[in-house]
Amino acid sequence: MDFLNGPARDSVEVFDIPAVKTVCVKATGWQMSKLEELFDTGFTSLATAVQPAGPAYALFTRQPSDTVDIEIGFPTSTALIAPIPAQKVTLEPGEIPAGKVASLSHIGAFDKLPQAYEELLARVEQLGLTPKLPFFEVYVTEPSPDKDPADLRTDIYTYIE
């Protein structure tokens, strides 16, 4: 799990990652326009029920459009055995899969993440590699109302072949 807590990546890096057990909230066909609602409810429920072993993440299992299939959660040192109903969500066992990834750190507001992904994917193609699903983001800096969005660090990852 060292890759989740490492230094910022100013340029694209390619490396293998191990599988990481997580506790998560899964949503299929979730409206992109309501993603903030899922994050607020999901992470609030997770934070009260889980002892995180690393920063929060979001794993996208299909390319987002008007809707998204997503898993949000935290790495954990104690695997969840069965789903647990919580506020408006269900906490489930999850996993960030093992595999070869390309990664880049984004420093700044979340609304600039699409440009960071464009940069990551362009560099992956320049390296002669092919991105594949899923892809995920790790929220290294925990957002809060008093945090300057320009200081947020989000590490983005795409699996490659």
pLDDT(145) > 80 = no
- The secondary structure of residue 146, as a DSSP letter, is T
All residues at 6 or more sequence positions from 54 whose CB lies less than 8 Å from its CB, including other chains: 1, 4, 5, 20, 74, 75, 138
Give the whole-angstrom CA distance, residue 51 versus residue 132: 31
Q: What is the dihedral of CA 150, 151, 154, 155, to 10 degrees?
A: 120
41-71 tens-digit pLDDT: 999 888 888 889 999 999 999 999 999 999 9
pLDDT tens per residue, range 77-120 = 887 888 888 878 899 999 999 999 999 999 999 989 999 999 99
**Residue 8, phi then psi, degrees to nearest 5:** -60, 145
* For the chain, percent of residues with pLDDT exceeding 90: 74
Q: Domain 1-19+97-161: which CATH class?
A: alpha beta
41: enclosing H helix or E strand: helix 35-49
